[in-house]
Amino acid sequence: MSAVVCEAVCRTFHQGDALITGLDHVSLEIQPGEFLCLSGPSGSGKTTLLNAIGALDTPDGGEITVGGQRLGSLSRAELAELRLRRIGFVFQAYNLIPVLTARENVEFVMQVQGLSAARRRAVADEMLAAVGLAGLEERRPAQLSGGQQQRVAVARAVASGPDLVLADEPTANLDSHSSAHLMDLFEQLNGERGVTFVIATHDPGVMGYARRLVRMLDGRVVADEAQTPQRMAHE
Ligand SMILES: Nc1ncnc2c1ncn2[C@@H]1O[C@H](COP(=O)(O)OP(=O)(O)OP(=O)(O)O)[C@@H](O)[C@H]1O
């Protein structure tokens, strides 16, 4: 079964009297375990596509299937369940909860999923250690650097055990060292746990990690190519 299938997905935005094309008949099939980057100029539809695949936004044409489930046929509660259990989001604004510690932020989704306190803590600490934040579990977001906050967001996104991670410009606020560290972590999760990654980015270093590069322009897919991945150098 494919991880994601997009069939002729369209999304049009209304701005006053103007119609703005977000997505124009996007068709794309992504297999489990793929490591895919979406590239393309600003406004080409990358974020709109990630939002649609993640069921954060509803297309006005076409069909999206995630893990065999047709999004258009799911209720709001079923969509929420899909987002909670199957999808990890790493979006640019980290969306960490400021009053919670790093550990509590990572535990949050697992708490909603109903895991026991002991299990949550064990998984949260394991994930924070995996992203290089061992010892900083008790810090609140404001006491962490931008790169560290981004890594908390990654730990949170993967702690719930998603099959699919959607990342929108995950390195936009990171220095080159943190970017390389983050991408190595994504690659590790992809290789060891088979998590599917779909990453929207302008960063050539990030694109280098992809085994498949999908280029968008004006809401359409204009190129879709396999490539040999290349890691970023650590400085
Ligand atoms: N909520 C919205 N209301 C109106 N227009 C929107 C909305 N969201 C996106 N658009 C428009 O849809 C098009 C695609 O935008 P999108 O954000 O998906 O592009 P992008 O490739 O992610 O760009 P960037 O690289 O700058 O993040 C753009 O023309 C954008 O202005």
Domain borders along the chain are: 4-63+75-97+144-151+161-226
**Domain at 4-63+75-97+144-151+161-226: CATH architecture:** 3-Layer(aba) Sandwich (3.40)
Using most ligand atoms within 8 A of CB, pick from 47, 60, 198 the residue to mutate for ligand 1: 47
Ligand 1 cavity residues, CB under 6 Å: 13, 15, 20, 22, 40, 42-48, 200
CA-proximal residue: ligand 1, atom 6 (nearest): 13
Q: Band the pLDDT of 159: cuts 50, 70, 90.
A: confident
Q: In whole angstroms, how far apart are CA 140 and each of 99, 137, 151, 157, 215?
A: 7, 8, 13, 17, 37
**Distance from the alpha carbon of residue 44 to the mean position of ligand 1, in angstroms:** 7
- CA–centroid distance, residue 219 to ligand 1 (Å): 9
Quote the pTM value: 0.90
Residue with CA at minimum distance from ligand 1 atom 19: 43
Atom nearest to 45 CA in ligand 1 = 18
pLDDT tens figures, 45-62: 999 999 999 999 999 999
DSSP state of 11: E
Write the residue with the smallest CA distance to atom 17 of ligand 1: 47
Does pLDDT of 139 surpass 90? yes
CA distances from 170 to 18, 37, 70, 89, 135 (A): 31, 11, 27, 10, 23
Residue 94: pLDDT over 70: no
